[in-house]
């Protein structure tokens, strides 16, 4: 084979080999862009917050960083139906958006993540020193219950917050288990079984579910212990 032909073939091989990493890099870049677009699409259009899946993933990451400081919160706006019935759903949506923005800013400032779980219910996962839990939760409640001005009306939201700390729950740290504990703690605060600032116990985290729903939710027909 002539030397010139051999050189051409080697050049083509080198060029082809060089283009593989470039093509792979372009493919990965496209994949990243697609995933970012999907993540953005999954955000709640009303509050701009991500959903439950993102919250669970963030809680799992935090558990690997510092399990002893991991807190998972569930917050529920009280009396939203009365706002919707008296002032309209548009006003109710403004109230939900305000609570979501406040929770998102609060959690983000602490390296955490907030999410809208559905309706008037929110969640958050973040790291807090155990000694600071009571103070931080009291501050969050005050923040979320600040008045919201809407069309000449002053709305004064009331929010029930439940918290589960990984340090309080023995055994492996499962974000779903922490979420169940926080949800149950929130329900106990909301129904005045416990005072604001209540922290989930192991019993709360292992409360049996009915079709994946917390006892006491509509449709479960299971009393709360």
Instruction: Out of 39, 60, 76, 120, pick the active-site residue.
Output: 120
Burial of 23 (0-12, 13-18, 19+ CB in 10 A): exposed
Q: Is 120 an annotated catalytic residue?
A: yes
* Intra-chain end-to-end CA distance of the chain, in Å: 87
How far is the C-alpha of 224 from the C-alpha of 211, rounded, in Å?
Answer: 15
Both structure tokens of 71: 């807190």
Mention every residue, 6+ apart, whose C-beta is less than 8 A from residue 137. 73, 161, 163, 196, 197
Instruction: Return the sign of the alpha-carbon dihedral for residues 171, 176, 178, 181.
Output: negative
Catalytic residues: 120
């Amino acid at each position: 084979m002539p030397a010139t032909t051999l050189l051409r073939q080697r050049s083509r091989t080198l060029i082809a080999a060089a283009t593989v990493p470039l093509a792979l890099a372009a493919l990965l870049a496209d994949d990243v862009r697609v995933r970012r677009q999907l993540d953005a699409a999954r955000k709640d259009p009303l509050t701009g917050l991500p959903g439950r899946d993102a919250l669970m993933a963030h809680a799992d990451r935090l558990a690997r960083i510092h399990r002893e400081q991991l807190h998972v919160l569930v917050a529920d706006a009280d009396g939203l139906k009365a706002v919707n019935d008296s002032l309209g759903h548009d006003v109710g949506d403004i109230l939900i958006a305000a609570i979501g923005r406040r929770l998102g800013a609060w959690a983000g400032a602490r390296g955490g993540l907030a999410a809208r779980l559905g309706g008037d219910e929110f969640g958050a996962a973040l790291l807090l020193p155990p000694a600071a839990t009571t103070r931080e939760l009291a501050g969050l409640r005050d923040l979320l219950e600040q008045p919201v001005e809407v069309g000449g009306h002053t709305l004064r939201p009331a929010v029930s917050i439940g918290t589960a700390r990984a340090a309080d729950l023995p055994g492996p740290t499962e974000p779903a288990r922490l979420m169940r504990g926080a949800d149950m703690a929130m329900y106990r605060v909301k129904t005045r079984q416990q005072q604001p600032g209540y922290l989930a116990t192991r019993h709360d985290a292992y409360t049996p579910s009915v079709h994946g729903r917390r006892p006491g939710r509509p449709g479960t027909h299971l009393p709360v212990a």
